[in-house]
Amino acid sequence: MELKLAREDLKSKPKTITLEKIEEMVKKSGDKIFYFDRENSHKSLVELVEYFEQKGYSVYFREVKYGLDENDYIYEVHILA
C-alpha cells in the first residue's frame, strides 16, 4: 500500500511512502507521527490504522484543519509501541 505524505508547500505534489517503510520507521523509533495528504482515501488510512493495531500498536488517527476552507485539512496518524 502506498500513501501520500502531507505537502510541505501548497503547490508541490505530495511524496509517497509505502506501508513497509512506515513500519520500518516505527520499529526504529518506537513511536512516530505521520501527516498524510487529503488526497488519500479515508478508507486507506483506516486500513493503515487497523494494520498497526493488529500488530499490537496503539494508533491515534484524526483529521487536522489548518484553514477556513473545507479542503484545508490533512490527516494525522500517531503510532505508539
Model pLDDT for residues 2-59, shown as the tens digit of each residue: 999 999 887 899 999 999 999 999 999 989 999 999 999 999 999 999 999 999 999 9
As a whole number of angstroms, the distance between CA 22 and CA 18 comes to: 6
- Are the beta carbons of 49 and 77 closer than 8 angstroms? yes
Into how many domains does the chain fold? 1
- Are the beta carbons of 46 and 31 closer than 8 angstroms? no
C-alpha cell at 78: 500517531
pLDDT at 44: 96
Q: Which domain holds residue 75?
A: 2-7+15-80
C-alpha cell at 18: 509505502
pLDDT at 9: 87
pLDDT at 16: 97
